[in-house]
């Protein structure tokens, strides 16, 4: 039997073996490429080597530390001009019973302000200074109201001082004529959440205490008062949230002023003080 006879007799079987071999070789090549980890191992090794490298030298690290210190100083400076630090009398820390201190401080400040307005011959229509009719109960509410009272007391003192300064320089000036209304409120700064936070991040300022006043004075007194609200190295700033002024109906009549001040409370400092108070 020659090769031709063998081929004719067994060609189906031989073709099957040849086809299977081809399929095996193709599959083996594909599997080797698909699951071969040699390339992946090499990439991981290169990545680890890159991670061990120092991307910043000592000079860059030193510069970064100096920049960080500078940013800390700038942050503290902005905080000094922005956050409202209550005067010791209006801070509950270390004052014993908070309710007693609140009542005592509120009564004293109301009395002192009324006397100052009487001496300055100012019509005073807000003897309660905007204080709530019912005393707060929670310590946090007591502290927020005392901060508002501190803001009211400071604002009225500066307003009276501005009036005295203007009348001293201009004897014919009207100065501060009347204080009609004072209103205080504590509002929580809104927190952004969900999509709004991702789209436009905001800073959580915590609690913002606002004080609204309506009074009548001449333009020079208002200007002098607003200049004093800007603050200085010796005097804290009083932030102005909103201001409207309306001229008098007749020439020489004082203008009507509506102004809202706000005190932004440093939440980190308040939390530390509260924790220290509980620890004692």
Report pLDDT for 72.
62
Is position 251 within any domain? yes
Is position 118 within any domain? yes
Look at residues 274, 210, 208, 219 and name the one whose alpha carbon lies nearest to residue 246. 219
- 250 and 122 housed in the same domain: yes
Is position 35 within any domain? no
Report pLDDT for 194.
47
Report which DSSP code applies to 172.
T
- 16 and 98 housed in the same domain: no
Per residue of the chain (280 residues), what is the pLDDT tens digit? 566 666 666 667 667 777 776 766 666 666 566 655 677 677 778 877 776 766 666 776 777 677 676 766 665 555 455 688 899 999 999 999 999 999 999 999 999 999 999 999 999 999 999 999 999 999 999 999 999 999 999 999 999 999 999 999 999 999 999 999 999 986 654 444 444 444 454 555 667 899 999 999 999 999 999 999 999 888 999 999 999 999 988 888 999 999 999 999 876 655 555 555 555 5
pTM of the predicted model, to two decimals? 0.67
Domain count for the chain: 2
Is position 44 within any domain? no
Residue 123 and residue 118: Cα distance in Å, rounded?
A: 8
- 97 and 204 housed in the same domain: yes
Contact 182, 117 (CB under 8 A): no
Is position 133 within any domain? yes
Is position 16 within any domain? yes
Which whole-number Å values give the CA distances from 249 to 207, 218, 252, in the listed order? 39, 13, 9
Report pLDDT for 187.
61
Report pLDDT for 2.
63
Is position 79 within any domain? yes
- 256 and 138 housed in the same domain: yes
- 14 and 86 housed in the same domain: no
> What range does the domain containing 100 cover?
73-279
- 9 and 92 housed in the same domain: no
- 183 and 245 housed in the same domain: yes
- 225 and 86 housed in the same domain: yes
In degrees rounded to 5, what are phi and psi of residue 258?
Answer: -120, 120
Look at residues 162, 148, 163 and name the one whose alpha carbon lies nearest to residue 261. 148
- 2 and 109 housed in the same domain: no
- 204 and 257 housed in the same domain: yes
In degrees rounded to 5, what are phi and psi of residue 107?
Answer: -65, -45
- 8 and 114 housed in the same domain: no
């Amino acid at each position: 039997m020659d090769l031709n006879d063998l081929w004719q007799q067994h060609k189906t079987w031989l073709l099957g073996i040849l086809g299977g071999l081809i399929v095996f070789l193709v599959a083996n090549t594909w599997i080797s490429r698909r699951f071969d980890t040699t390339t992946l191992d090499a990439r991981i090794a290169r990545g680890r080597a890159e991670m061990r490298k120092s991307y910043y030298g000592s000079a860059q690290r030193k510069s970064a530390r100096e920049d960080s210190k500078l940013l800390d100083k700038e942050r503290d400076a902005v905080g000094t001009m922005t956050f409202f630090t209550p005067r010791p009398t209006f801070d509950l820390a270390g004052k014993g019973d908070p309710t007693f201190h609140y009542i005592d401080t509120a009564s004293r400040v109301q009395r002192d302000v009324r006397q100052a307005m009487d001496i300055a011959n100012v019509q005073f229509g807000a003897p309660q200074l905007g204080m709530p009719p019912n005393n707060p109960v929670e310590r946090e509410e007591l502290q927020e109201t005392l901060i508002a009272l501190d803001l009211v007391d400071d604002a009225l003192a500066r307003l009276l001082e501005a009036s005295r300064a203007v009348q001293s320089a201009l004897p014919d000036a009207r100065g501060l004529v009347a204080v009609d209304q004072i209103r205080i409120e504590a509002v929580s700064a809104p927190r952004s959440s969900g999509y709004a936070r991702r789209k436009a991040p905001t800073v959580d300022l915590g609690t913002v205490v606002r004080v609204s006043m309506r009074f009548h004075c001449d333009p020079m007194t208002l200007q002098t008062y607003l200049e004093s609200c800007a603050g200085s190295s010796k005097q804290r700033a009083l932030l102005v949230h909103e201001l409207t002024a309306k001229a008098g109906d007749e020439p020489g009549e004082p203008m009507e002023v509506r102004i809202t001040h706000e005190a932004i409370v440093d939440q980190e400092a308040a939390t530390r003080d509260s924790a220290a108070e509980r620890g004692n």
